Amino acid sequence: MTKTARILLADDHEIVRRGLRNLIEDHPEWSVCCEAADGHEAVAEAMRAKPDVVVMDIAMPRMNGLEAARRIVEKFPRTEVLILTMHESKQLVQDVLKSGARGYILKSDAGKDLVAGIEALLEHKPFFSQKVSEVILDGFLKGKGGAAEQDELTPREREIVQLLAEGKSNKETAAVLDISVKTVEVHRANLMRKMGFNSLSDLVRYALREKMIEP
């Protein structure tokens, strides 16, 4: 008897999740085992359900898809993560690959690529939309494929940047991350200095550019 593949959907738009569920459940051997509306929920549901594949957006509230992917892959190396997003910048492609996700599909290509992407990941093979493959190849040919930024943020710093950019106070950020307000203040001061931010506006612009939050 064929084992049913278990798939977790993570996107903060319910209508997107519904459309993805319809595409996936057209396959009798696949099942959507759970859904999540933000990165924290995605990690929690992955811990609980241990899905075979996670299909996840990047720009989600509270914790973005890249940080969620890092945590899921670190905890469950056999769980494959497929990033589904509207964006295809070279830096974002690098960040996706560094997160441990091995699939990257543009939302505009989901209708024709999602099934093939899930099939590939279920066999533990990478899958990228054609446009994303072109970005990866272009970066490789120019010798910039895996270069890490000098001022790369730690996972905790990225969480704090996202929450502050979403408008949360130090106290609210501490509550979400279950750490002290003092710890948030220290991280905030360190990352402002590290990234050369002079104001919260600089931090918000960075979060927008890195697709941690949506305009």
Q: How confident is the model at residue 142 (pLDDT cuts 50, 70, 90)?
A: low
| CA dist., res. 75 & res. 69, Å (int) | 10
Domain extent listing, the chain: 5-141, 155-209
What order of strands is seen across the sheet that includes strand 80-85? Answer: 30-36, 5-10, 53-56, 80-85, 103-106, 127-128
CA-derived radius of gyration, the chain: 17
Q: Superfamily for 5-141?
A: Response regulator (3.40.50.2300)
Nearest to 45 by CA among 62, 61, 32: 32
* pLDDT for the residue 116: 94
Is residue 143 scored above 90 in pLDDT? no
Strands 80-85, 53-56: pairing kind: parallel
Tens digits of residue pLDDT in 65-96: 989 999 999 999 999 999 998 877 777 888 88
Check for a shared fold between 5-141 and 155-209.
no
| CA dist., res. 78 & res. 85, Å (int) | 22
What is the CATH topology of the domain spanning 155-209?
A: Arc Repressor Mutant, subunit A (1.10.10)
* pLDDT for the residue 147: 39
Tens digits of residue pLDDT in 7-60: 999 999 999 999 999 999 999 899 999 999 999 999 999 999 999 999 999 888
Mean of the pLDDT values across residues 112-123? Answer: 94
Write down the residue that tokens 């950020």 correspond to.
173
